[in-house]
Amino acid sequence: MNITEESVGGVSVLRTEGRIDSGNASEFEGHLVRAIGDGSVKLVVDMAKLTYISSAGLRALLIAAKKARPTGGRIALSAMAPHIREVFDLSGFSSLFEIHSDEAAAVAAFGAA
């Protein structure tokens, strides 16, 4: 797993790469929690280069979403590969997150909001 962080037009973008499994999910969670911080944050988790995400990874996203909710923060996911989209669909997580076709669309969606 490799995660880079960048700010694009006032939106934090977390680019994930490789595999997120139970071994490194806590690290992923750490990144997410840091990105959200205390304040109202718009966070895009880009999954263009993500090859795999386990249920532990989903849980990390869930924790981040729950943490963001009280302060009005929002988390969007972008550029999922089909098999990852499948995971989200199967687990029903698709209904919990905003999912965009690519990073720009996600950022733009935040900008429009």
How many whole angstroms separate alpha carbon 31 and alpha carbon 102? Answer: 20
Give the residue, chosen from 82, 90, 112, 113, that forms a contact with another protein under the rule CB under 8 A.
90
Between residues 59 and 85, which has the closer beta carbon with respect to another protein? Answer: 59
Tell me: does residue 85 bind another protein (CB under 8 A): no
What DSSP string runs through 13-42? EEEEEEEE-TTTHHHHHHHHHHHH-SS--E
Tell me: does residue 32 bind another protein (CB under 8 A): no
Least distance (Å) between residue 61 CB and another protein: 10
